[in-house]
Homo-oligomer: A and B are copies of this chain.
Amino acid sequence: MYNVQVHVTYKDSVLDPQGQAVQGAVARLGFEGVDHMRIGKFFEMQVAGSDQAAVTEKVEAICDQLLANPNMEQYRYDIQSMEAE
């Protein structure tokens, strides 16, 4: 069993209006010096698989087919064996 974390964010070339809105709210609350706010989604899951390579292949397929919109979003993932902990 593997612990998998996936981050899905807008591509750098895509405007992030939600991030800009939150950045504006941060400034209106009086916090200075906060910039380049970007917001993304974060998925945590446990994935069964015979080895890290099999899990990696499965996670990439799930991201491509479901979690990320390939037109506007990019993803990255981190896979850790639960046995090693």
Interface residues of A (CB under 8 A from B): 7, 9, 19, 22-23, 25-26, 29, 31-49, 58, 61-62, 65-67
Contacts and interface: CB of A to CB of B under 8 A. Distances in A.
Given A32-B48, A35-B47, A38-B43, 7 more contacts: A22-B67, A23-B45, A34-B45, A34-B46, A36-B46, A39-B43, A40-B43
A42 B45 contact: no
B37 A44 contact: yes
Number of chain copies forming the complex: 2
The interface centre, meaning the residue of A9, A37, A42, A46 with most chain B CB atoms within 10 A of its CB, is A42
A37 B25 CA distance: 30
Given A39-B43, A45-B34, A65 B29 contact: yes
Contacts of A19: 43
Contacts of A48: 32-35
